[in-house]
Amino acid sequence: MNRYIPHTPDDVSRLLAAIGAKSVEDLFASVPAPLRLARELDVPAPLDETALLKQLGALAGPAPRVCFGGGGAYWHYIPAAIDHLLRRSEIYTAYTPYQPEIAQGTLQTIFEFQTMIARLLAMEVANASMYDGATAVAEAALMAARLTKKNKFVVSAGLHPQYLATLRTYTKWTGAVLTPAPLAADGRTDIALLAELVDGETAGVIVQSPNYLGALEDTRRVGEIVKGKPARFIHAFTEPLAFGAIVPPGEAGAHIAAGEGQSLGIPLSFGGPGLGLFAVTQKDMRAMPGRLVGETVDAEGKRAFCLTLSTREQHIRREKATSNICTNHGLMATAATMYMALIGREGLRRVAELNRTKAEYLKSKLAACGEVLPAPTFNEFGWTPKRPAARVLAALADAGIFGGVALAGFAPIVDNAILTCVTEMVTREEIDRYVEIVRSV
Amino acid sequence: MSKSYGPCDVPGARGIALCEPTLFERSTPGRMGCSLPESGSGFRVPGSGDPQSALPPELRRTSPAGWPELSEVEVVRHFVRLSQYNYGVDSGLYPLGSCTMKYNPKLGEDAARLPGFGGAHPAAPHAGLLRLIGELSRDLAEIAGMDAVTCQPAAGAHGELTGMLLVRAYHEARGDNRTTVLIPDTAHGTNPASAAICNYQVRAIASGPDGILTPEAVAAAMDESVAAIMITNPNTLGLFETHIEQIAKIVHDKGALLYMDGANLNALLGVARPGDFGVDLLHFNLHKTFATPHGGGGPGSGPVGVKKHLAPFLPAPLVVADGAGWRLDEDRPQSIGRVRSWFGNVGMLVRAWTFIRELGPAGLRQASEMAVLNANYLRARLQDLYAVAYDRPCMHEIVFSDKNLPNGVTTMELAKRLIDYGFHPPTVYFPLVVHGAIMVEPTESFEPEALEGFIAAMRAIYAEAADNPDLVKHAPHNSFVKKVDEVAAARKPRLTADM
C-alpha cells in the first residue's frame, strides 16, 4: 500500500462486492486482453521519503551562486511572505474557478492581478495569464492577424531569440510573413528603417523594450509610426520591472502588451513555470486569448467575481476560439499578485531605481575592460570584453559567480559579447569582485 | 475609519464569512510591505558621471503604476482570508471529471522548492536538472509505450498544439499536404482549437450507440486528406475505446496518424500503453495523471510522447541521453522549433519525477486501479437515481444525466446544491453528447468514507428535488457568496478595479 492511496484490501473487497465485480481486473474488461500490459512498467523501484530527498538533494545541488544572468530570466528579491501564502493548499490545490461560489479567493485574486498588470503596463485590460513571455508574444501576433485580417509582421531584431523562435513555430502554418527590422550599431532598433517597413498591409509591429541586448527602445516613436494604420503595435518585454521607471507599453501607444512576468515574485526555476502577461486596449478586448475575471454580484446583491467573456474560448467556440489555451499559469499570477501587493507603489519605484543604478555602476566600471553598448539600458546590457567571452565567464564561474549569458552570434554584437544583468540582489562588493575578475583574465 | 467596504462595512464583524475588500480598497498612502536594500550614494562613480541621472525624457514613465500601498501584515491577512473562500483538493472530494483532481503530495512541493532547483538560472548549466528531465522523459515514454518525449509544452492544450505541429511537419516532410483532422463529438474543446491553429480543417465523427467510436464510422470518414485523428482514450464518457486497435489500422492504412489526448491517462497506468494500441503520439497532463497541483488554473505541464517516426520533428532543444549523462540537443534540422522559452515548466517536472519515483511500477498501476474502482463504485451506488449515459462498466470517470431528476431540477442546480453539502461539483454539461451531463471523476485519492459522503449527498439532493425543489433551485445557501450572476458579468464587463 502507498500513502497516497487509502484503500485497504478490505475496502477493495467491499467496493467490488457493491459493484458486482469479482476482481479489480474485471473492471478493465473493456480493454481487450491483447492490449493489456502483461508485465510491470519498467520504471525505477519505489523509494521512501528519506531516500527520495537524498536523491533530490543530489540532483538539485547547492543553492545558486551570485547571479548576473538575465536574458529573459531574472534573479530578483522575493518577499518571504509570498511562499508562505502560496503554500495555502486552498489556493494551490484548487482548479480553474468554474464554480464561482466556492472559488471567490482565486477569482478576486485574479481580478486584482488583472488590475495591477493593466496599471503596470498602462493598458486598459489584462487577462488572467498566459504560459510565458514567448507564447504571449506569439498569441499577440495571432490576435493581430485576426483583428486586421492581414498577415505581415515587422519584427524588431531586438526580440528575444527564443520568443522569435516560438513566434515562427506558432505562425508557421498561418501564412504569416515575418520581416526583421534590424538593429542599429547602438543596439536599438533602427526606427527609420522600421518606419519604411510598415505599411497598410502590416498586421503587427513587434518591438521588445528593454530589448534582448538590454537597450531601451524609443517605443513612443513606434507608437507614432503605427498610429492611423491598421497594424497593431505589439510591445514585447522580458523585464516588467523596467516599467517602474521607463515608458510602459500603454504610454507608448501599444495596442497589445505581451511578455514575461517572472520578475514579479516568481523563482527562476530553470526557466519555468514563468508567467505570460497579456494586456490590450478596451476596443480589442473581445479578440483577446485567455481567461478573464469580471466583477458582478451574487443573488443577494453582494459583490462577487466570476470568469467572463468565455464565448471567446475553446470550450464554447471550439475551432473558432481566439486561442486553444485552457489551463494558464494561475498560481504564478497569484504569486505575482502577492508580489505587487507587497512591493507596492513605492517599492516598485525603488526596485526600478536600484536595478538601474547598480547596472549603471557596473557599466561604468566595465568601460575599462571592454566595449559597452552605448544605448540607454535598465538592468542588463550587452558588452564585448577585451578577452574571449568564454574565458571571462569561466573565470567568473570559478569564483562562484554566474557572469551572464553568452551572446555569440547575436547582431550587432557578434561572437564575443556577454549579456550582463545587475539586479537589486547584487551588492556593491559583488559588483566590484566581478570587475576585479574580469580585469584579471 | 473612512473607507467603505460595501455591504459588510466592518471587517471582522461577520466571522470568517465577511467580505474581503480588494487590495485597492485596503490601500493606505505611506504603507510598505517589502524590505529592500538602501540605494545610497555608494554607487556613484567619480569621474564618470552620476549613474542615478534620469533617463532621457522620451524614455521616462509619466504616471506611476498605481500599485496599492499595504504593510505585510495586511497583505498576509488579505490572502489568508481569500484562501478561505476557496475549495481545493485538500478541502474534500473534488470530482471534476476529466480534470483528475487527485491529491498533490507535499513532498513534491518541498522538492520543487529546493534552492538548487528554484534558484537555477536557465542559461547556467545544470547537470542535475538535465538528468531529472531526461529521466522523466524516459519514464513517461515507458509508461505510454512511446520512443521519445519532449517536456517543453506548458499545459495539455499546449501539448496538443505541439502534437498537431508534429503531425503537420511529418506529412510536409513526406511532401504530403493533408488538410483535415478528425475529431470525435466527445472531444475536449481544446482539440479542435489546437487543430485550427495548425490550419487544419476539423471534421467531427459521431460516437456509436455504445458511446464509443466504431471502426465503420472512422472508415467512412477517412480519406487521403486526413492528416490525423485525435482520440481521447478512455474517452470523455469514461469509456475505453474498445476498437482502438482496428481504428488505428484504418487510420494508418490511409497514411494518417493517431493522436491521443492523454487527459484521461489516469485510467491506464501500468494497465495498457497507448503505444501498444497504435497511438503515434500523445500528450500527458502532469497536473492530472502525475499529481502536480492545479494551482487554481495552472501552471500545468503537457509533455508530448511520440513514436520513432515522429521523433526527428520534436521541438528543440531536446534533452537526450549522452553516455552516462544527459545533454541538450539543439541541432535538430527537422524540428518544429520551439513552442516556448527555455525547457518546460521545470517546477512541475520535478514534482512529477518525485511522484513517479515514490510510487514505482506497482504504485502507478495501483493508482489507476483504485481510480477505476472508485468511479465504478459511484456508478453502482447512484445509477438507480441518476441515469447513466451508457450502461456498461466505466473506467476512471462516470457520466450521469439529469433526465431522471424530479420537478425539472437541472444539472446546474444539482451542482450548486452539492456545494451546500460540502463538495466541489463535478464537471457539468460536458461531454455535449449527454443531456445535462454530470461527469464525476473521484480519482484514487479518496477513501471509501469520502465516497459515501458524496453518495449520501447526491441521494439527499435527489430526494430534495422531489420534495422541495425550490431548495435545490436556489442553491447554494451555505456558501460565502450565493449564486453568482454570470450573465450580468458578461453584459457589462468590469475587468479591473477603478483607480
The per-residue pLDDT for range B382-409, each reduced to its tens digit, is 999 999 988 888 999 999 999 999 999 9
Whose CA is closest to A407, among A205, A183, A194? A183
The answer for A 176-215 residues in CB contact with B (under 8 A) is: none
How far is it, in rounded angstroms, from Cα A126 to Cα A250? 12
How far from the centroid of its chain's Cα atoms is residue A107's Cα? 21
How far is it, in rounded angstroms, from Cα B184 to Cα B229? 8
Task: Find chain B residues with C-beta within 8 A of A172's C-beta.
Answer: 165, 336-337
pLDDT digits (tens, 9 = 90+) for A228-281: 999 999 999 999 999 999 999 999 999 999 999 999 999 999 999 999 999 999
By the 8 A CB rule, do B168 and B198 touch?
A: yes
Q: State residue B222's pLDDT score.
A: 96
Q: State residue B44's pLDDT score.
A: 64
| Contacts with A224 (C-beta within 8 Å, 6 or more apart), sequence order | A253
Which one-letter DSSP state was computed for residue B484? B
How far is it, in rounded angstroms, from Cα A71 to Cα B131? 24
Any A CB within 8 A of B70 CB: yes
Residue of B nearest to A45 (CA): B360
Give the DSSP per-residue string, A104-138. HHHHHHHHHHHHHHHHHHT-SEE-S-BS-HHHHHH
Instruction: Report whether the peptide linkage leading into residue A273 is cis, meaning its omega lies within 30 degrees of zero.
Output: yes
Q: State residue B51's pLDDT score.
A: 45
Q: State residue B11's pLDDT score.
A: 45
Any A CB within 8 A of B6 CB: yes
Q: Do B357 and A87 touch (CB under 8 A)?
A: no
Q: State residue B450's pLDDT score.
A: 96
Any B CB within 8 A of A87 CB: yes
Q: Is the pTM of this model over 0.90?
A: yes
Any B CB within 8 A of A79 CB: yes
- The phi and psi torsions of B257 (rounded to 5 degrees) equal -110, 155
Q: Do B51 and A328 touch (CB under 8 A)?
A: no
- Helix (H) or strand (E) holding A294, with range, is strand A293-297
Q: State residue B188's pLDDT score.
A: 84
3-state secondary structure of B127: helix
Which residues in chain A show pLDDT less than 50? none
Q: State residue B16's pLDDT score.
A: 45
Q: Which of B33, B96, B485 sits opposite A297 (nearest CB)?
A: B485
Any A CB within 8 A of B120 CB: yes
Q: State residue B112's pLDDT score.
A: 98
Q: Do B76 and A85 touch (CB under 8 A)?
A: yes
How far is it, in rounded angstroms, from Cα B251 to Cα B241? 15
Residue of B nearest to A332 (CA): B299
Q: State residue B9's pLDDT score.
A: 46
Residue of B nearest to A80 (CA): B34
- Helix (H) or strand (E) holding B325, with range, is strand B325-329
- Percent pLDDT > 70 in chain A is 99
By the 8 A CB rule, do A281 and A251 touch?
A: no
Look up residue A4 and give its three cell numbers: 497516497
Give the DSSP per-residue string, A140-200. HHHHHHHHHS--EEEEETTS-HHHHHHHHHHHTTTT-EEEEE-B-TTSSB-HHHHHHH--T
Q: Which of B19, B51, B370 sits opposite A360 (nearest CB)?
A: B51
By the 8 A CB rule, do B430 and B440 touch?
A: no
Any B CB within 8 A of A167 CB: no
Any A CB within 8 A of B325 CB: no
Report the first-to-last Cα separation within chain A, whole angstroms. Answer: 59
Q: Do A247 and B59 touch (CB under 8 A)?
A: yes
By the 8 A CB rule, do B308 and A107 touch?
A: no
- Helix (H) or strand (E) holding A345, with range, is helix A330-366
Whose CA is closest to A73, among A336, A272, A339? A272
ipTM of the complex: 0.97
pLDDT in tens for each of the 499 residues of chain B? 344 444 444 444 444 445 899 999 999 999 999 999 886 656 765 544 444 456 888 999 999 999 999 999 999 999 999 999 999 999 999 999 999 999 999 999 999 999 999 999 999 999 999 999 999 999 999 999 999 999 999 999 999 999 999 999 999 999 999 999 999 988 888 888 888 888 999 999 998 888 999 999 999 999 999 999 999 999 999 999 999 999 999 999 999 999 999 999 999 999 999 999 999 999 999 999 999 999 999 999 999 999 999 999 999 999 999 998 999 999 999 999 999 999 999 999 999 999 999 999 999 999 999 999 999 999 999 999 999 988 888 999 999 999 999 999 999 999 999 999 999 999 999 998 899 999 999 999 999 999 999 999 999 999 999 999 999 999 999 998 999 999 999 999 999 999 7
Any B CB within 8 A of A235 CB: no
